[in-house]
Amino acid sequence: LLSYGISVVVVTQAAQGCMIYTQGQTTHVPGFAVDVVDVTGAGDTFGGSFVAARALGQNLIDAARFANATAAICVGGLGARAGAVAREVVEGYMG
C-alpha cells in the first residue's frame, strides 16, 4: 500500500496492539490486557477512534494507543456499542 502513495498504514493485531507503517518506519504500539467478552465492533471502534484522535491533533503513536484502548474497552463488554464511551473514559482506562 505504501508503494501506491498511501502515507500511513495501520494493521491491528488484536491483543498485541497494532503496527504502524510509514515510508521508512515501522512501529509496534502495544495493546491493553483485557478479558475478552465479545469482539463485535472492535475493528470499527479502533478505526473510528484512530481517525478521531488524528483529527484532534494526536500523533500516530498516541492515536494508535488511544484506538487500542477503545478497542480493548469494546471487547471487554457485550455488543458493538460497548466501545462507545466518552473520551474521558478511554483516557482514564489508559492511565
Residue with cell string 495501520: 10
Catalytic residue list? 44
- Residue pair 34/75 in contact (Cβ under 8 Å)? The answer is yes
Instruction: Take residue 38 and report the three cell numbers written for it.
Output: 465479545
Instruction: Take residue 60 and report the three cell numbers written for it.
Output: 500516530
